[in-house]
Amino acid sequence: MNGTKDIVLPKFYPKQLAFLEAKGARNCYGGAAGGGKSFVARWLLILQAYKYAGINILMLRRTFPELSENHIKQLIQILNCKNPSKSERLAEYKADQKVFIFPNGSRIKMGYCKNEDDVYQYQGQEYDVIFMEEATQFTETQYIYLTSRNRLSSEKMKEYGFKPRMYFTCNPGGVGHAWVKRLFIDREYTPTENPEDYTMIYAQVTDNKFIMENNKDYVNNLMNLPEDQKKALLYGDWDVFSGRFFTEFSIETHVIEAFPIPKGWRIYRTRDYGLDRTAVLWIARDFEGNSYVYREFGESNLVVSEAGKKINELTEKWEDIYMDIAPPDLYNKNSQTGRSAADIFREKCGHYLTKASNDRVQGWLTMKEMFKLESINGEEPKPKLFIFKNCTELIKCIPLLRFDESNPNDVAKEPHNITHMPDALRYYCISWTYEPIENPSKKNRKDTLPFELRDDDAEEEKYISWD
Ligand SMILES: Nc1ncnc2c1ncn2[C@@H]1O[C@H](COP(=O)(O)OP(=O)(O)OP(=O)(O)O)[C@@H](O)[C@H]1O
Ligand SMILES: [Mg+2]
């Protein structure tokens, strides 16, 4: 670069090289702790700043102390910023603006987003490269907002043929575990996301020769961590992470193949409603008090009457809803119309709702009790709550729920989008008071199949009408 000394590159490990060479729109290097992610992150910034004169880069950590301790100090040293002779410096560091400025006009802005709204400080800015270090510490809302800031900053960058990019490094766990896992591990995309944009490089601690040779104790320490933390930080396992609330839940035990609901089992319906998400679960209770979540419905942007209509469309005529459970906030009256969501569900959709308690701690504890394996009369231990395989949103959300940092008996309310289905289930769990008894009037029912109504049964079936 003109007017500066040449920079001496370290020897990168193969995974680090793969990350440096990744040029997709979204590139993630994640997994085990100590793989060398932060190290390569710094070099990636420097190399891009060197290669593309005038590039505008944003480097983010969640908090300023993390940013300062992990990157600013090291970059100041690598770039020789404190050298008294200007010509010996590879870049200037302007501490008041937290920006490194290179002689070729490239800039690396060092930023952080401690609070949810801190991300809006980048409003109106354009960054050719955005780097989210420890990406799983950021919320999905922050990530989505940042994607809107990732665009070409100048004509010059266009001339290079440069495509705006985002880079991520991370370990499993943290408030952003769910969105990172969806994009880079599960690779489940919305219609507006292009799968080819997402590149994942899996980090292992064994990738890092420096640690393996000089810090053997570090690996031993990881070995001694509790099982889920060990899996996440030593092996980079994305299916577990520390802070998980429902440690008693496992896919192998609680998720089962669908089966026809036998006659006489009591049917419950439970919901969480908001414009952001309508989440509804249909649950059958057997005569031993076991509960089976057998259907779910989740959709965003539905007004109350639309949500009610869809719920009715999904509810089959054989389903004689014993209790239709709803959270207390649905009973809040609108100050202008004087009517509540519960009123609209009743008047327009025929839903006679039962108000659940919103004692969160008690609700989660009841759910934990129901997930817990228990042996009755010396039999094989079993839970009381099962989920049919087809309820995919609920099954995905439960393992992602984390402890609320300020109250270990409560579930964190962020990320909000994973709380809707579990909230609906919580309202059911807390409303459960007694086991169903066989209803003699239903003795003659011929059908055991839940998903069809026999003609000769139709007349005697009570069901919720939406006509
Ligand atoms: N290519 C390399 N050459 C020399 N040392 C390296 C190299 N890569 C990483 N290291 C050293 O290995 C150690 C761990 O690296 P680093 O902090 O980048 O790991 P990490 O994956 O970010 O860890 P964590 O998951 O804890 O954030 C550091 O001391 C770093 O300087
Ligand atoms: Mg790191």
Instruction: Provide the pLDDT confidence category of residue 221 given band limits of 50, 70 and 90.
Output: confident
The answer as to whether 246 is a domain residue is no
Annotate 199-235 with three-state secondary structure.
Answer: EEEEECHHHCHHHHHHCHHHHHHHHCCCHHHHHHHHH
- Whether 166 and 33 share a structural domain: yes
- Whether 268 and 229 share a structural domain: no
CA-based nearest residue to 286, from 261, 269, 249: 261
- Whether 200 and 303 share a structural domain: no
Instruction: Provide the pLDDT confidence category of residue 400 given band limits of 50, 70 and 90.
Output: confident
Chain segment 113-148, per-residue pLDDT in tens: 988 789 999 998 999 999 999 999 898 889 999 999
- Whether 122 and 181 share a structural domain: yes
Please name the amino acid found at residue 246. F
173, 232 Cβ separation under 8 angstroms: yes
- The CB density around residue 191, as the number of other CB atoms within 10 Å, is 5
Gap from CA of 41 to ligand 2 centroid (Å): 9
Q: How far is CA 82 from CA 6, 77, 98, in A?
A: 17, 8, 15
Q: What is the CA radius of gyration of the chain?
A: 27
- Can you tell me the distance from the alpha carbon of 149 to that of 144, in angstroms, rounded to the nearest whole number? 9
Total domains present in the chain: 2
- Whether 80 and 135 share a structural domain: yes
Ligand 1 contacts CB of residue 33 (under 6 A): yes
**Helix ranges, 22-150 (H):** 37-51, 64-67, 73-78, 140-147
The answer as to whether 276 is a domain residue is yes
The answer as to whether 463 is a domain residue is no
- Whether 27 and 127 share a structural domain: yes
CATH number for the domain that contains residue 417: 3.30.420.280
Chain segment 373-386, per-residue pLDDT in tens: 988 888 889 999 99
Gap from CA of 177 to ligand 1 centroid (Å): 21
Pick the residue whose CA is nearest to atom 6 on ligand 1. Answer: 210
The angle formed by the CA atoms of residues 137, 142 and 144, to the nearest 5 degrees, is 120
State which of 207, 235, 263 marks the end of a domain: 235
- b/e sequence 381-392, b meaning 16+ C-beta within 10 Å: eebbbbbbeebe
The answer as to whether 242 is a domain residue is no
State which of 205, 235, 265 marks the end of a domain: 235
CATH number for the domain that contains residue 82: 3.40.50.300
- Whether 167 and 30 share a structural domain: yes
pLDDT over 50 at 434, yes or no: no
Instruction: Provide the pLDDT confidence category of residue 437 given band limits of 50, 70 and 90.
Output: very low
- Whether 103 and 216 share a structural domain: yes
Point out the least confidently predicted range of 49-63, 171-185, 346-360. 171-185
CA-based nearest residue to 153, from 163, 143, 140: 163
Top mutation candidate among 11, 13, 37, 39 for ligand 1, by most atoms within 8 Å of CB: 39
The answer as to whether 312 is a domain residue is yes
Residue ranges making up the domain that contains 230: 14-235
Chain segment 151-171, per-residue pLDDT in tens: 999 999 999 999 999 999 999
The proportion of the chain whose per-residue pLDDT surpasses 70, expressed as a percent, equals 91
The pLDDT mean for the chain works out to: 87
The answer as to whether 443 is a domain residue is yes
Q: Which atom of ligand 1 is nearest to the CA of 32?
A: 25
Which residues partner with 297 through β-bridges?
Answer: 280
- Whether 288 and 317 share a structural domain: yes
